[in-house]
Amino acid sequence: MLILLAGIFALHIICIILLLVATIDNGWWVSETLSTDVWARWVYNNGVWNYTDLPTGSHYPEDYLQAVQATSVLACIFSILGIFVFAAQLFTLKKGERFTISGVFQALACLCIMIAASIYTDQFHLDESVGSYGHCYILAWISFALTFISTIIYFVLRKKTA
């Protein structure tokens, strides 16, 4: 059981790292001359990458952008809270009640990052022919899958008596 708990802890840490990188790093939409994340845009001009604000208007609707930003940050917060709750539940709750709250936090993190990536897919870069989704966008979807798996594991472990 100790190896299983260590594996779950490692999976949770991996989820947190992927969520943080997807939220913070610059690479949701990339091309040779620009790199965009949910916070700003970097434009390559005269051999130098320049920080610029995201464009406004129909390409970046502000309400959708704020929803992507908020749900990305919330996913990180819920997952980080979930790891602390996981550690606390090991020592405070009796068997059969453990991992429920951790599972709920991971489910919320999973839902938030899915919402963020879905809104980004549906609302941004639809009419752009140059560029592609970057590594942070891919990491957001990978972290969605891993947090979903982590959620399932927590709810299955809740039923275990060991």
> Could you state, in order of their start, the residue ranges of all structural domains in the chain?
2-28+61-158
For β-strands 132-133 and 48-52, DSSP reports them as unpaired
Give the C-alpha distances (Å, rounded to integers) separating 95 from 46, 86, 115, 133, 159. Answer: 62, 13, 33, 44, 8
Query: How far is Cα 106 from Cα 110, in angstroms, rounded to an integer?
Result: 6
Considering the segment(s) 2-28+61-158 as one domain, its CATH architecture is Up-down Bundle (1.20)
Distance (Å, whole) CA 14 – CA 34: 28
Verdict on whether the full-model pTM lies above 0.85: yes
Q: pLDDT tens, position by position, for the chain (162 residues)?
A: 788 889 999 999 999 999 999 999 989 999 999 999 899 999 999 989 999 988 887 778 889 999 999 999 999 999 999 999 988 888 786 666 678 889 999 999 999 999 999 999 999 888 888 889 999 999 999 999 999 999 999 888 876 654
